[in-house]
């Protein structure tokens, strides 16, 4: 469901896939070739939500900001795993956000980072680029190498393939 809020309608390029069970509300803008999967909620009612080109927001994830203070900004080629909560945070380009991760207001995830499944990134945390964080609360574990960077992009490429397949399937309906 894509719906307006206070006169602002989500912006979804034709190259995107948004599952019919997902909800995009208000000031949400998707970049080219982005995808939003089953039962995800991008709630741009209290602040803006931006999702970059080639990024994917997977099943049951929730993106929401904090009124007049913290938007949600997701860069290009970001994979947001199943059941992730991104609340008032920034995730820079080429990151992998594992299943069940929670990232809170004012946090910033540096480009090329991995946040491991189940991790909690507390308010205001700054994750430096190309790093792996894990745990509750999340802690730095190691710097990521070029092989890790390629693996992050492979997840994004996989979802580009799924997006294309689903868009083709939609033409048959």
In what helix (H) or strand (E) does residue 49 lie, and over which residues does it extend? strand 41-51
pLDDT at residue 149, as a whole number: 98
Domains and CATH numbers, the chain: 2-172 (2.160.10.10)
Question: Which pLDDT value is given to residue 111?
Answer: 98
What pLDDT score does 172 carry?
83
Whole-number Å distance between alpha carbons of 88 and 148? 27
H/E element, 126: strand 126-127
Structure-token match 């949600």, residue found: 72
- Residue 134: count of CB within 10 angstroms of its CB: 18
Q: Are 24 and 51 in contact (CB under 8 A)?
A: no
d(CA 30, CA 24): 10
Q: Round to whole Å and give the CA distance between 129 and 158.
A: 23
The pLDDT profile of the chain, 173 residues, written as one tens digit per residue, is 899 999 999 999 999 999 999 999 999 999 999 999 999 999 999 999 999 999 999 999 999 999 999 999 999 999 999 999 999 999 999 999 999 999 999 999 999 999 999 999 999 999 999 999 999 999 999 999 999 999 999 999 999 999 999 999 988 87
Composition of the chain by helix, strand, coil, percent to 5: 15, 40, 45
Its pTM stands at 0.96
Helix (H, G, I), strand (E, B) or coil at 40: coil
Both tokens of 79, joined, read 């994979």
Looking up tokens 């904090």, which residue turns up?
Answer: 66
Beta-carbon contacts of 6 under 8 Å, excluding residues fewer than 6 positions away, are 26, 45
DSSP helix/strand/coil, 33: coil
């Amino acid at each position: 469901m894509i719906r307006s809020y206070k006169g602002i309608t989500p912006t979804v390029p034709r190259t995107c896939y948004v599952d019919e069970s997902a909800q995009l509300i208000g000031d949400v803008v998707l970049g080219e070739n982005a995808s939003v999967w089953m039962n995800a909620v991008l709630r741009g009612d209290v602040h803006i939500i931006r999702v970059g080109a080639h990024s994917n927001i997977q099943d049951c994830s929730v993106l929401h900001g904090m009124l007049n203070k913290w938007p949600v900004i997701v860069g290009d080629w970001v994979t947001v795993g199943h059941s992730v909560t991104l609340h008032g945070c920034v995730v820079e380009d080429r990151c992998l956000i594992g299943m069940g991760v929670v990232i809170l207001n004012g946090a910033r995830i540096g480009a090329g980072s991995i946040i491991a499944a189940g991790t909690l990134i507390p308010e205001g945390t700054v994750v430096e680029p190309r790093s792996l964080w894990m745990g509750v609360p999340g802690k730095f574990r190691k710097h990521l190498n070029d092989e890790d960077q390629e693996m992050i992009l492979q997840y994004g490429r996989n979802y580009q393939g799924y997006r294309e397949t689903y868009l083709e399937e939609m033409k048959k309906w």
